[in-house]
Each structure stands twice: as structure tokens, then as C-alpha cells.
Amino acid sequence: MMPMLETLIHIPNDLIPYTLCLSSEGVPVRGWYLPMAEAAEEMLQAGRVFVERPYTQYPVGERLAAYFEGEQIDFDTPLHLTGTDFQKRIWAEMTRIPYGDVVSYGELARRIGCRAYRAVGQACHRNPLPLIVPCHRVIASGGRLGGFGGGEDIKRLLLRFEGVNPMPAG
């Protein structure tokens, strides 16, 4: 069986590096806070087959570029999310957190009807589409940042970009 051909697009901006992997149907599969070359290296190491294309060929690429230009974008695009049912419930709820807002891990757990805020944190950490599924908008109680797969500096930068000023970590 021939591997599925995926597409990598890099979203140029002055804030952070961001590269997105799209399925053969153009549906977002995986995002990285990495330059194109580093994301491509991860794809190669995983044995995935891909082409690099301009972001302007895809509506989601245009929406990401608009986000980085400061527009308050809702990513109402189909997504290909691979995870457990619990993770998918968390990720779906995260997409409902508006631009410029934050919720705590505990609040996110409450919204899906559970008390397992640490499991919510793990689901956030395993989010395959950061930014589109805005795990950076989920913070610890008391306004602290909490963890972030892309690193706390990127989380703080994204929140400040959206007009949120969380407490320092620690």
C-alpha cells in the first residue's frame, strides 16, 4: 500500500514559526511551532511522504496568516484529529474558547463533565493541532500559565498577542 501524500505549508509571520501538515484532502492533521525545514525533518524521520506548497493554496493557510496579522479568527475548518475519545472531547471544547479568552484546566474539565483536570492537561499537551485547537488558551488556576507543548515562552507570546496577560510561571 502506498503511503498517503501529505502537504506541508509554512505560515510566514513575525511572531513565531508555524508549519502545518495537511492530509491529501487538504484537512489539517498536525501543526508545529517550527520552521518548515524542522517540521519536514520530523515528517521524514516518521517515514511520511509529503510535498511543500505555498500556504496561499489552502483556505486554512490564509486563515492562519490572517490570525498572525492580528485578526480574531475562528478556525471553522474540518480537522483530522487522532486521539482517544476523551482527548477529542477536550480538543472540541478548546475550539470553543474565543480569541483573547482563557479558561483553567479545571474549568475545561467541568465543561466536559469531569473532574480530571490533570487528564485535561495531558490532552492539551497531546493536541496535534496547536493554534487551530487553541490549547494556549488553557491555563492553570489563579492565572498561572501552566505547561505547554510548544514551551511556556510561546504560550505567553501567543496569549499576549491575543491581549491576555497571564501571571508569570512558577
**Interval 98-145: pLDDT, tens:** 999 999 999 999 999 998 888 999 999 999 999 999 999 999 988 888
Strand 5-10, strand 49-52: pairing: parallel
Which residue, chain included where needed, has cell 474539565?
109
Catalytic residues: 135
pTM given for the model: 0.91
Identify the helix (H) or strand (E) that includes residue 138: strand 138-139
Q: What is the mean pLDDT of residues 159-168?
A: 83
The DSSP bridge pattern shows strands 138-139 and 103-104 to be parallel
CA atoms within 13 A on the CB side of 62: 7
Average pLDDT value for the chain: 92
Domains along the chain with CATH numbers: 5-68 (no CATH), 85-161 (1.10.10.10)
pLDDT of res. 144: 85
Kindly state the cell numbers that stand for 38. 524542522
Q: Which residue type, as a one-letter code, is found at position 142?
A: G
